[in-house]
Amino acid sequence: MQVKSAPGGADVYVDGIYRGSTATTVGNLAAGSHFALLKLVGYQDWSGLVTVRPGQVTILDIPLQVQTEMNTGFIHIESMPSGASVYVDGVYQGVTQGGNPLDLTGIPPGEHVLTLRLENYQDYTTRVLVQAGKTASVRASLVPLQAPAGSGVVQISSEPSGANIFLDNLCIGITPLTIPSIPAGTHEIVIRLSGYQDYRNTFNLSPGQTAQIQVALNRDMPGIPFPPFAAVLALIGAGIIFPLRRWHKR
């Protein structure tokens, strides 16, 4: 999906996940309908369902509408770790992303209940006072759920993200991911992403420990395969490749 906007620089969310700023191309989308959301401070949010068809590039070119009335406010939200789902007064608003906080626009003035939810972390809830034409900032430090005795927590991230994670030969999710309640001991981890070399390693986890695994994946550099013997013979027969001959002196 190619996403453009006028003006550019709008944050793009597809199915609640931040995918960059316009203009941008969003790849690896399954065929079917996807919920797209564009956000730019000073402009009205745009959202809608976009149909993606197999093997085709769907172009989304959105003219954003200026917010002419400054009778609403803004909320700037960051979380540590990122990836938390954000709710205002119980209504889903989007997901926090590392290096790109979530900016909410068009929030009515007054007090609102803000909730952040992330798997394996305690919910974060606070009250935010929004004033017309102003931005309220929230920085939330999420608290991990307590792991049972004799187990630990593993936090896994990769660059690029979206890689499959295999723990002890079992696929458990994609990066970034926090895994609670991992039994203490030695474990094998494999991180796999198409177009990149597998990352494989073992680690030892102590009871109550939180282990962080951060991996920079290396691009796969496939070698040039040697042509099959039959293909070489065909090229020789066509006169494209000339066989080497041993010349003898007479």
pLDDT in tens, 164-188: 899 998 888 888 888 877 888 999 9
Question: Mean pLDDT throughout 30-46?
Answer: 86
Mean pLDDT (the chain) is 83
SS3 state at 133: coil
pLDDT in tens, 43-71: 888 988 999 998 899 999 999 988 766 67
How far apart (Å, rounded) are the C-alpha atoms in residues 163 and 181? 21
pLDDT at 225 over 70: no
How far apart (Å, rounded) are the C-alpha atoms in residues 195 and 191? 12
pLDDT of residue 221: 77
The domain spans of the chain are: 2-63, 73-141, 151-216
Q: What is the DSSP string of 161-212?
A: S--EEEETTEEEEESSEEEEEEESEEEEEEEE-TTBPPEEEEEEE-TT-EEE
pLDDT of residue 147: 64
Tokens standing for residue 56? 């085709």
- State the residue for tokens 């039994």: 183
CATH placement of domain 2-63: 2.60.40.1120
Instruction: Please report which confidence band the pLDDT of residue 15 belongs to, taking 50, 70 and 90 as the band edges.
Output: confident
Domains 73-141 and 151-216 share a fold: yes
CATH placement of domain 73-141: 2.60.40.1120
Domain 151-216 in CATH 3.40.50.880? The answer is no
pLDDT in tens, 92-142: 888 887 767 888 888 888 999 999 998 878 899 999 999 988 899 999 988
How far apart (Å, rounded) are the C-alpha atoms in residues 110 and 108? 6
Cα 87-26-105 angle, rounded to 5 deg: 30
b (16+ CB within 10 A) / e for 81-116: bbbbbbbbeeeebbbbbeeebbbbbebeeeebebbb
Identify whether the C-beta of residue 58 lies closer than 8 Å to the C-beta of residue 3. no
Q: Name which of 26-30, 97-101, 164-168, 204-208 the model is least confident about.
A: 97-101
